A and B are shown apart, each in its own frame.
Chain A
């Protein structure tokens, strides 16, 4: 019964989103039929479209998992974007400064470095919050700007490719690339990393005492304190895991897509990850589903732009609508659901 309710309200959200999209498209004087056709063609029309969805979903799953762990612990990490860039910096440094080595070892070191650097980027706000009560919402957002600008400095100085005039790092060695899973599409090993991370997070959060402590602190800090569970320790731990996962998203983007560090590698994945976590109800499976759903929306919108000439900015509007509906569905739809006699 609980699931019927979920299902019905999700359906309502999808229908309302499509209606609003239709209105926007008609107002902008485009052909809605054509738009719809090209939207779905982009998603289901080819293997390439399908793979592209997974490619885009990969960083969203990783960063979304990170945000969901933080949210579950009551730490509102808005800084996944910056943490993602720190992860990207980490793997680039591993590629540029470490001597050649076997691929397995190289990737493993890059993953650990990316996790740690992303994690540290979140632990600083986590520490400030746990120790001094500084609002993590503000600090994590500010850390985004710092991280993005550090990337800008690095690709022009220390990590700059000396053979080029452009602000790029050198191309990563072959041993630091994820293998392609579905040649000739871009789908790469990062997707597997994302799925494995989701399973691990599920186990940690639901089956271990570590996750139990994190969730207790997330629901009720006072009850945690009164049961001998340290708020301080758990907020720092949650921020480490959260930033680390976002850092992995950066590692995966470099190792799987860009193969070198440059500015603007993330089209706001770290921010969309917040939507992913919210819609996925902080559950790993929910995160995977909503990440794939949102990237399908983007891939479909890109196809609409190519084929029907409709600007992709429409997806930003729709994502806003989805967030509003998802957050307010319990209140907005409760009357409706009652009338439909669904409990």
Chain B
């Protein structure tokens, strides 16, 4: 008798069938991967199990009994815990307070701190989940916060843990540590469901895989009986594309983007200290690092949204240190932001209006303040065709487009003005595999057209697959710069991402 059985789960949202008779079976003590692209229905299925959504039809049996949780509270009481992709912790409270939050222990409403801390210490020892119960959440690293989330579930006696994209925010070393924890959990008889779209992880850690595509079951296989290519075929209907490494023929000696000892200090955001690097025309220069180490700030000082306190920035040989956003754009800078919804697009405006967001005050789109909507429409139609943007029409609010098509619209707009430097910040975040490959291919094509490209990404796989040189950022400093090639040492990059300095290899 399996521990958990979800049978023929059906869930429809207005206009979309998120789960179309999906089934999932998890045995006791099993690490089970739920694999699929963004939008395949993985998280919806788990949210149904966890009581966040209600299913339209289907049967869930948990330990032999049919259940239908009305809220996460019900699910937790039955021994199911979920760690969301975005952690649900209160930063201003301590670890112990977060773990016991909402629980009515003996003696409630009085808090038996000694007992709680002892219990947490025992749990963390048992599973290797090292955290200090007295520390404030806001002072913990992302990896430690994840351990707190897992402890929170275990403290509530979770027998089945659901983890949504658990490795998305971890360094390679933290990921290894996390896998060790998973194995301990398994040995103690807990079951784990991992929601993921990363095939190598599935191969490394899981016992069984269920693949979803477009809200439907594709297959369930034992991990030991499959391989990466087969999984990729199940997931996207074809093998993963590999990007050929660059032939080192037409290396340009001209620099497109130069940063010299850039310092940025602002109370509200991360500090940047002494950042220097030069990006040549015809190369993709990658900035690797764990999220939140100053990547966003770096993108903003280069694009001109924030002004730096010290140092110099050159674009195509021009000193633009103090220039405005628009002047930098005229100097040849294109900026693909990591936050499509808040920064790259005006979601309530239509596709054509979003297409001119950066050029509305330039000819041919406008003259003497009057916008020529005829030109705007023609240009929009052309870009929709060139970039294969799927939209019902140019007057459709861009909110209604899928993430991939929104990103294509941004890229179409940013590349339209013929830039010489492209600054891409997390350009594939949240995109499905098809759109991700499109974005990467576009960046490579632009590199081959001799553009200078700075790619800031927390996805190490992405950096390694398309960059020519890689810099690692940690706590607002560039820890080191290394050439990308066959001899690339991933382990070393991982250590650098955690703050260990690597020796700088300049080319």
A residues at B contact (CB < 8 Å): 207-210, 212-213, 215-216, 219-220, 222-228
Find chain B residues with CB under 8 A from A228 CB.
304, 324-326, 329, 358
- A226 touching B343 in the complex, CB below 8 Å, given contacts A209-B366, A216-B349, A219-B349: yes
Find chain A residues with CB under 8 A from B361 CB.
209
Bound together, the chains give a CA A339 to CA B344 distance in angstroms of 38
Find chain A residues with CB under 8 A from B366 CB.
208-209
The answer to whether A212 and B371 have CB atoms under 8 Å apart is: yes
Find chain A residues with CB under 8 A from B343 CB.
222-223, 226
Find chain B residues with CB under 8 A from A222 CB.
339, 342-343
Find chain A residues with CB under 8 A from B349 CB.
215-216, 219
Find chain B residues with CB under 8 A from A209 CB.
360-361, 366, 369-371
Bound together, the chains give a CA A212 to CA B366 distance in angstroms of 11
Contacts across chains A and B counted by CB atoms under 8 Å: 59
Task: Tell me how far the C-beta of A174 lies from the nearest C-beta in chain B, rounded to whole angstroms.
Answer: 38
Task: Tell me how far the C-beta of A190 lies from the nearest C-beta in chain B, rounded to whole angstroms.
Answer: 28
Bound together, the chains give a CA A227 to CA B329 distance in angstroms of 10
Pick the contact of A210 from B324, B358, B369 — CB < 8 Å?
Answer: B369
| Interface flags, B42-81, vs A, CB<8A=1, else 0 | 0000000000000000000000000000000000000000
Chain B residue at smallest Cβ distance from A226: B343
Task: Tell me how far the C-beta of B142 lies from the nearest C-beta in chain A, rounded to whole angstroms.
Answer: 24
The answer to whether A223 and B345 have CB atoms under 8 Å apart is: yes
B375 within 8 A of A: no
- A208 touching B371 in the complex, CB below 8 Å, given contacts A225-B305, A228-B329: yes
Bound together, the chains give a CA A215 to CA B350 distance in angstroms of 12
Interface residues on B, range: 20 to 34
21 pairs of residues in contact across A and B, judged by CB atoms under 8 Å = A207-B370, A208-B366, A208-B369, A209-B361, A209-B370, A212-B356, A215-B349, A219-B346, A219-B347, A219-B348, A219-B349, A220-B342, A220-B345, A220-B348, A222-B343, A223-B345, A223-B346, A224-B346, A227-B325, A227-B358, A228-B326
Task: Tell me how far the C-beta of A113 lies from the nearest C-beta in chain B, rounded to whole angstroms.
Answer: 25
Find chain B residues with CB under 8 A from A213 CB.
360
The answer to whether B344 and A223 have CB atoms under 8 Å apart is: yes
B357 within 8 A of A: yes
- A226 touching B337 in the complex, CB below 8 Å, given contacts A212-B353, A216-B346, A219-B348: yes
The answer to whether B342 and A223 have CB atoms under 8 Å apart is: yes
Task: Tell me how far the C-beta of B194 lies from the nearest C-beta in chain A, rounded to whole angstroms.
Answer: 34
Bound together, the chains give a CA A143 to CA B305 distance in angstroms of 34
Task: Tell me how far the C-beta of B337 lies from the nearest C-beta in chain A, rounded to whole angstroms.
Answer: 6
Bound together, the chains give a CA A42 to CA B304 distance in angstroms of 61
Chain A residue at smallest Cβ distance from B373: A207
Find chain B residues with CB under 8 A from A216 CB.
346, 349, 357
Chain A residue at smallest Cβ distance from B300: A226
For the complex of A and B, list the 5 residue pairs with the smallest distance between their C-beta atoms, beginning with the closest: A228-B325, A228-B326, A226-B343, A219-B348, A219-B346
Find chain B residues with CB under 8 A from A212 CB.
353, 356, 360, 371
The answer to whether B344 and A226 have CB atoms under 8 Å apart is: yes
Find chain B residues with CB under 8 A from A227 CB.
325, 357-358
B residues at A contact (CB < 8 Å): 303-305, 324-326, 329, 335, 337, 339, 342-349, 353, 356-358, 360-361, 366, 369-371, 373
Further contacts, 6 of them, CB under 8 A, given A220-B345, A222-B342, A223-B343: A209-B369, A212-B356, A212-B360, A220-B342, A223-B345, A228-B324
Task: Tell me how far the C-beta of B407 lies from the nearest C-beta in chain A, rounded to whole angstroms.
Answer: 15
- A220 touching B371 in the complex, CB below 8 Å, given contacts A226-B337, A227-B325, A227-B358: no
Find chain B residues with CB under 8 A from A223 CB.
342-346, 357
Bound together, the chains give a CA A92 to CA B474 distance in angstroms of 66
Bound together, the chains give a CA A20 to CA B366 distance in angstroms of 50
- Most chain B CB atoms below 10 A, which of A220, A225, A226: A226
Task: Tell me how far the C-beta of A296 lies from the nearest C-beta in chain B, rounded to whole angstroms.
Answer: 31
Chain B residue at smallest Cβ distance from A208: B369
Find chain B residues with CB under 8 A from A210 CB.
369
Find chain B residues with CB under 8 A from A208 CB.
366, 369-371
Chain B residue at smallest Cβ distance from A223: B346
The answer to whether B371 and A207 have CB atoms under 8 Å apart is: yes
Find chain A residues with CB under 8 A from B303 CB.
226
Bound together, the chains give a CA A219 to CA B398 distance in angstroms of 13
- Most chain B CB atoms below 10 A, which of A207, A222, A223: A223
Bound together, the chains give a CA A226 to CA B303 distance in angstroms of 9
Chain A residue at smallest Cβ distance from B413: A227
Find chain A residues with CB under 8 A from B360 CB.
209, 212-213
Bound together, the chains give a CA A90 to CA B414 distance in angstroms of 48
Pick the contact of B305 from A207, A219, A220, A226 — CB < 8 Å?
Answer: A226
Task: Tell me how far the C-beta of A321 lies from the nearest C-beta in chain B, rounded to whole angstroms.
Answer: 28
Task: Tell me how far the C-beta of B423 lies from the nearest C-beta in chain A, rounded to whole angstroms.
Answer: 12
Bound together, the chains give a CA A210 to CA B368 distance in angstroms of 10
Chain A residue at smallest Cβ distance from B353: A212
Task: Tell me how far the C-beta of B14 lies from the nearest C-beta in chain A, rounded to whole angstroms.
Answer: 10
Task: Tell me how far the C-beta of B213 lies from the nearest C-beta in chain A, rounded to whole angstroms.
Answer: 29
Find chain B residues with CB under 8 A from A220 CB.
342, 345-348
Task: Tell me how far the C-beta of B275 lies from the nearest C-beta in chain A, rounded to whole angstroms.
Answer: 21
Bound together, the chains give a CA A224 to CA B360 distance in angstroms of 12
Bound together, the chains give a CA A228 to CA B326 distance in angstroms of 6
Bound together, the chains give a CA A210 to CA B369 distance in angstroms of 7
Find chain A residues with CB under 8 A from B358 CB.
227-228
Chain B residue at smallest Cβ distance from A228: B325
Chain B residue at smallest Cβ distance from A210: B369
Task: Tell me how far the C-beta of A214 lies from the nearest C-beta in chain B, rounded to whole angstroms.
Answer: 12
Bound together, the chains give a CA A228 to CA B335 distance in angstroms of 12
Bound together, the chains give a CA A208 to CA B366 distance in angstroms of 8
Task: Tell me how far the C-beta of A217 lies from the nearest C-beta in chain B, rounded to whole angstroms.
Answer: 9
Bound together, the chains give a CA A225 to CA B326 distance in angstroms of 11
Bound together, the chains give a CA A220 to CA B343 distance in angstroms of 8
Find chain B residues with CB under 8 A from A225 CB.
305
Task: Tell me how far the C-beta of B323 lies from the nearest C-beta in chain A, rounded to whole angstroms.
Answer: 11
Chain B residue at smallest Cβ distance from A204: B369
Find chain A residues with CB under 8 A from B326 CB.
228
Bound together, the chains give a CA A227 to CA B303 distance in angstroms of 10
Task: Tell me how far the C-beta of A48 lies from the nearest C-beta in chain B, rounded to whole angstroms.
Answer: 42
Find chain A residues with CB under 8 A from B347 CB.
219-220
Bound together, the chains give a CA A254 to CA B353 distance in angstroms of 41
Find chain A residues with CB under 8 A from B304 CB.
228
Bound together, the chains give a CA A46 to CA B357 distance in angstroms of 51
- Most chain A CB atoms below 10 A, which of B303, B346, B347: B346
Find chain B residues with CB under 8 A from A219 CB.
346-349
Bound together, the chains give a CA A224 to CA B329 distance in angstroms of 15
Task: Tell me how far the C-beta of A250 lies from the nearest C-beta in chain B, rounded to whole angstroms.
Answer: 28
